[in-house]
């Protein structure tokens, strides 16, 4: 959804990218709630899911902020 809203590869500023960013942050929070105190294979799987959530968040925030950074272009 964030790729469609940003108009990638021709980025344009869009405030509507805040919607996928907020939803992705809520999803990451929901995944963090699944962590347990003791390490197990379940804990390791949740950590892998958290790493994937963080990668998605970085991409969404990059698409959100890139059009405003004129010094990069």
Structure confidence at residue 72 (pLDDT): 62
pLDDT number for residue 6:
81
Which residues make Cβ contacts (< 8 Å) with residue 22, sequence separation at least 6? none
Q: Which long-range contacts (CB under 8 A, 24 or more apart) does 27-33 make?
A: 27/53, 28/53, 28/54, 28/57
* Domain residue spans of the chain: 2-68
- pLDDT value of position 71: 64
Cα–Cα dist 26/42, whole Å: 21
Q: What's the pLDDT score for residue 14? A: 81
pLDDT-flagged residues of the chain (< 50): none
């Amino acid at each position: 959804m964030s790729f469609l809203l940003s108009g990638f590869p021709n980025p344009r500023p869009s405030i509507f990218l805040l919607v996928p960013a907020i939803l992705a942050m809520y999803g990451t929070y929901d995944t963090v709630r699944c962590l347990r105190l003791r390490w197990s294979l379940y804990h390791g799987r949740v950590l892998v899911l958290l790493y994937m959530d963080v990668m998605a968040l970085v991409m969404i925030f990059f698409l959100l902020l890139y059009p405003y950074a004129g010094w990069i272009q």
